[in-house]
Structure 1
Amino acid sequence: MDNRRLILLLVFSFSLVMLWDGWQKHNQPKVPPVAAAGSGAATGVPTPTATAAAPGAAAVPGQAAAVAAAPAEIATARTDLLVAEVSAQGGDIIRLELTQHKATDDQARNYVLFDNGEKHSYAAQTGLIGNGLPNHKTVFALSTKNVALKDGEDAVTLRLDAPPTADGVKVSKLITFHRGSYTADVSYEIANGSAAPLAPHAYFQFTRDGKPAEQPGGFGVQTFTGPAFYTEAEKYQKVKFEDIADKKAKFVTKAADGWAAMVQHYFVAGWAPKEGEREFFANQISSDLYSAGVIVPVASIAPGQTGKLSVPLYAGPQEQSRLDQFAKGFDLVVDYGWLTIIAAPLFWVLQWFHKLTGNWGWAIILVTIALKALFFPLSAASYKSMAKMKTLGPRLQRLKEQCGDDKMKLQQAMMDLYKREKVNPLGGCLPILIQIPVFIALYWVLLGVVEMRGAPWLGWIHDLSVKDPFYILPLIMGATSLIQTRLNPAPPDPIQAKVMMLMPILFTFMFLWFPAGLVLYWVVNNSLSIAQQWQINRMIAAGGKPAE
């Protein structure tokens, strides 16, 4: 039996099992978890620990706050990149449209990140922890209902004022949006009109349902949706909604640095306090609603003085240049897993080719050619080995006929033939195995980067991140895979030979739903491989030993 073929068959079989498992997980009905009755998380407000609790804030915040009896007023803020809707209740950002990104299912509409119930329940919420202090259930007074970035302006600020507390503390919440940026500054101005010093805490959280965001095309391919935390000591930590519901979530809870985020495919929202101690949390609010964020202390405010706290909020696409500027380590939300060390340089090269061509489709083609050139010696060795094996095909078939059912004799005769002809039956495997991590890394780069979203190539390909609408590229990919299989030596085992001939058909079926950018990569790679293998086959056949 051809061991190289067996290895490839095992790899292919394992891939099918993984894809089927992913498809099953994606389509199985989700059992909604049940929230613990009477828990602090049920209010949607984080319950601070003893170290984070402000003086006199032992009770869960929000219980004494004013709750709107009717739908709260909404203010709208517009910039060159986004349209934000802010509720008077809590000053929550309840809806956020990204004007430079279109909805997946309707290109006439903007993509909605924060959503007040159209598809998801997802909002950015903040509040203060302390007796009578406003939180995300408090009804604020809006200074205006519409603010927009004007020509010549670099920023626009929406101001909300909370009702004064019984002891004379006045709180205002300010949200400042910037030109050309997905980062907003969320600030509190606290005027201490009481007779005692005030040292509250503030929380900044995302509240979201557990439904996954839009997923990339592909048979069973799923990306992560959920909270994530980062600190210098513990690095990047993702938290599954299921683990939060089961109270099995493990992540850093206290640190002197770091950020909290809500991650989904292509987009992310994150809170990144600038300095000082902070406490991270993740709670289940109801059967399918979760909150995650960070609690930070507010510096002590003396009577008659005014204190201020500001925390930046990023809410937008996972464009790595913007992520790097927002916070240290924030670029890790573009998660390539254990292949990051390979995938990150690949994306840098892809970006470089994009700057050169101005088109992501041509950039993919050039990266594929560059990778093929880089691995040319390895792939050439692999194809030479396969070509030599193909020339030995008739002689191997003759040995099989001579040895009959004597497997031991056949194996010995085959080994003698390989040794005599100086052919390594596994010579084509090692080069392929060395290249696999690189190709998988490129797969995840093309699958995960938001730059591919909505990027056209040519003709009928208007978006490289979704499937080919006419299935032309998958069919071309299947045809090139079939040609490549024909160029390879046929396995001596008839059943194995039939399985190998079915592989192009199975791959074509799977690739029908893959993003066009990925299929384009495979088409170009297959085409280059066919040209290289065909040339090597000719060279070997011309100088090879005729079959006896």
Structure 2
Amino acid sequence: MPGAPPSGATAAPRERVEVTTDVMRATFDTEGGSLVRTEFLKHAADSSADKITSTFVLLEQNAERVYVAQTGLIGGDFPNHKTPMTFSGERTLAAGANELVVKFESPVQGGVKLAKTYTLKRGAYDIPVKHEVVNAGTAPVSPQLYVQLVRGASASNSSFLTNPTSTYTGPAIYTDAKKFQKVEFGDIDKNKADFQKDATSGFAAMVQHYFVSAWILPDGIKRENFARKIDNNLYAVGMIAPLQPIAAGAAQAVPATLFTGPQEEKTLERLAPGLDLVKDYGMFTILAKPLYWLLDKIHGVLGNWGWSIMALVLLIKIAFYWLQAKGYQSMAKMKAINPKVMAMRERYKDNPQQMQQEMMRIYREEKVNPLGGCFPIMIQIPVFISLYWVLLSTVEMRNAPWIGWIHDLASPDPLFILPAVMTLTTLLQTALNPAPPDPMQAKMMWIMPLAFSVMFFFFPSGLVLYWITNNVLSIAQQWLINARMGVPPQFNLPKFG
């Protein structure tokens, strides 16, 4: 990207300009007219224990952290993000006003003057940016406009302790042809970044858990997408758009939109095709999006995200009731014949081949399919994985309270009560299942749920609440089906001796 302006450029006093709307406090740097800080007044900062210290900051530029939005011109000695500029406009959104306009204007550099006009709107995180390029020279010029997001990469992003849910952080590019393309920092380091370079639509973004920044150019404008390392630990993602030749004394305006804010799905869908994909649901997006839609509708009625999660799990359980009932009926049959199977195993413990034949005979005579309880559960797994990603990715869960001690459904339970309850319900559900005849399988049946439950002590409360609700409803359904089939509830406790 461009370096510093030539010594002949007129230097204006450098200033940090703070502009405030009802939802955002934005700070611009008159060096290049860049946006160097965004503070979201409606979103609390990440909490320490249960104490919220401040509002959330996304873009920032200081000695510890760099994450900024820049634009400028290349293709000659033209104004860029290092050029001193002059600020004009208001600094606070006036009462009753719907927008706030700020402008940064460069001196003439290389025969060209660049003016950037940002329009900050009430209640919005998207900022229309008009780039007006004036040819103040005597010959035609053909500059190129670049828009970029520059961010430092942190090694802690991949740490399980700091990010146990492994959400993606890094650049992303969207085009109509190749759709949403993640560009890993590591792939940039290795020169293995694979994404569509030339396009006439789409956006370039920096993605992280719950929040995103993105530059969007209008459809039809040719652009070259790029993602590169620009310093020891700084990476840039953006687009370069060639301008039409500008005659001497003429001007050309290029619009763009800068979004920097929370990943609110309905807002992202409205702004640009594919922008909602920064809210990453993984391979089950086709299932996750309708689940989020339903969750949002339930929240509109109940007004509490915790109760909405429980209600959604209940609706899913009702939808799958008969399918899951088939699985539990198969388990109940297995439990009913389990004493016969165990006695047979004892008789033929020294003859494994005969044991296997006798076991198959029992299953055949009793009309029991040993895999009958697995198939209905396997069909439901994609739905519950999709719901997991919905709850993990939804920014509305941040700092959303449920009841009592749960003040933030996006943070782990500070008292570990929900993970403990989840562990107990998981073990109870395991105990109600028929014990596998193989001793090693029987041990694994207990070890895996225990290991799985320990992981949930680090997971967001909303995810744990969803799993508890699913466990409790499954236990109730299993208990009911066993009773109807005349199989008394029996707890198969582990035997590790």
Shorter-chain TM range is over 0.9
Determine the structure 2 residue equivalent to 1:373: 318
- 1: CA distance between counterparts of 2:288 and 2:136? 55
1:78-477 to 2 correspondences below 5 Å: 78-105=20-47, 107-117=52-62, 120-143=65-88, 147-165=91-109, 167=111, 169-211=112-154, 220-275=164-219, 276-477=221-422
Q: Which residue of 2 aligns with 1:50?
A: none
Q: Deviations over 1:150-196 (max 9, x none)?
A: 112111111122122364x3332222111111011222223322212
Q: 3-state SS of the aligned residue for 2:324?
A: helix
Once the two structures are superposed, residues 453-483 of structure 1 have per-residue CA deviations (whole angstroms, 9 ceiling, x without a partner) of 1111111111111101111111111111111
Deviations 1:290-317 (A, max 9, x none): 1110011223332222322221111101
Q: Which residue does the alignment assign to 1:22? A: none
Query: Structure 1 residues 103 and 70, CA, compared in 2 at 3 Å: closer, same or farther?
Result: farther
Q: Alpha-carbon deviation of 1:525?
A: 0.7
What is the distance in 1 between the residues matched to 2:110 and 2:212?
39
SS of residue in 2 equivalent to 1:315: strand
- Correspondence for 1:25: none
Structure 2 Cα separation of the partners of residues 334 and 297 of structure 1: 30
Give distance in 1, aligned partners of 2:357 and 2:12.
Answer: 86
Q: CA deviation at 1:119?
A: 5.2
Change (3 A) 1:526 1:118: farther
Tell me the CA shift for residue 541 of structure 1.
2.6
Residue deviations 1:196-244 (CA, integer Å, cap 9, x gap)? 2233111000010112669998984311111111111111111001111
Q: Deviations over 1:112-156 (max 9, x none)?
A: 110113753100001011433210111112236x61101121111
Residue 91 of structure 2 aligns to a residue whose secondary structure is strand
Pair 351,66 (structure 1): closer, same or farther in 2 beyond 3 Å: farther
Instruction: Name the count of aligned residue pairs.
Output: 484
Q: Give, in angstroms, the shift of residue 67 of structure 1.
A: 9.2
Q: Which residue of the partner structure matches residue 36 of structure 1?
A: none
Between the aligned partners of 1:132 and 1:543, the Cα distance in structure 2 is: 84
Cα distance in 2 between the residues matched to 1:185 and 1:406: 78
- The verdict on how the C-alpha distance between 1:378 and 1:216 changes in structure 2, with shifts beyond 3 A counting, is farther
| Higher RCO structure (Cα 8 Å, ≥6 apart) | 1
| 1: CA distance, partners of 2:158 / 2:53 | 17
Are the counterparts in 1 of residues 268 and 275 from structure 2 also a CA contact under 8 Å?
A: yes
User: 2:287 is paired with a residue of what secondary structure?
Assistant: helix
2:218 is paired with a residue of what secondary structure?
coil
Relative to structure 1, is the Cα distance of residues 331 and 409 closer, same or farther in structure 2, using a 3 angstrom cutoff?
same
CA contact (8 A) 2:118 2:129 kept: yes
What is the identity, as a one-letter code, of the residue corresponding to 1:410? M
Equivalent pair of 1:213/1:264 in contact (CA under 8 Å): no
Residue 63 of structure 1: how far off its partner (Å):
6.0
Structure 2 gap ranges (5+)? 490-497
Letter in 2 for 1:305: A
Cα distance in 2 between the residues matched to 1:184 and 1:219 = 30
Counterpart of 2:458 in 1: which secondary structure?
coil
Letter matched to residue 88 of structure 1 = T
The question of whether the paired residues in 2 share the 8 Å contact of 1:141 and 1:160 is answered with: yes
Are residues 339 and 65 of structure 1, via their aligned partners in 2, closer, same or farther at CA, if it must alter by over 3 Å? farther
Structure 2 residue identity aligned to 1:294: M
- 3-state SS of 2:101 partner: strand
TM-score for the superposition, normalised by structure 2: 0.92
Percent identity between matched residues is 46
* Aligned equivalents of 2:255, 2:452: Cα separation in 1: 52
Q: Distance in 1 between matches of 2:451 and 2:83?
A: 57
Q: Rate the CA distance shift 1:469–1:194 in 2: closer, same or farther, 3 A.
A: same
Match of 2:17 in 1: 75
SS of residue paired to 2:258: strand
| 1:517 match | 462
After TM superposition, the score normalised by the length of structure 1 is 0.84
Residue 61 (structure 1) shift: 6.0
Q: Summarize the Cα distance change of 1:390–1:67 in structure 2 as closer, same or farther, 3 Å threshold.
A: farther
1:323 is displaced (CA, Å) by: 0.5
SS of the residue 2:486 aligns to: helix
Letter in 1 for 2:325: A
Residues 92 and 80 of structure 1: is their aligned pair in 2 closer, same or farther, counting only changes over 3 Å?
same
The aligned residue for residue 474 of structure 2 is 529
- CA deviations on 1:413-471 (whole Å, 9 max, x unpaired) are 11111111111111101111111111111111111111111111111111111101111
Q: State the AA in 1 paired with 2:14.
A: A
- Which residue of structure 1 lines up, in the alignment, with residue 423 of structure 2? 478
SS in 2 for 1:262: strand
Contact 1:263/1:269 (<8 A) preserved: yes
Q: Which residue of 1 aligns with 2:494?
A: none
Equivalent-residue separation in structure 2 for 1:153 and 1:199 (angstroms): 38
Change (3 A) 1:149 1:373: same
Structure 1 residues 292, 452: CA separation in 2 closer, same or farther (over 3 Å shift)? same
- Runs of 5+ unmatched residues, structure 1: 1-44, 46-59
* 2:224 aligned partner, one-letter code: E
Shift of 1:497: 2.3
Aligned position for 2:495? none
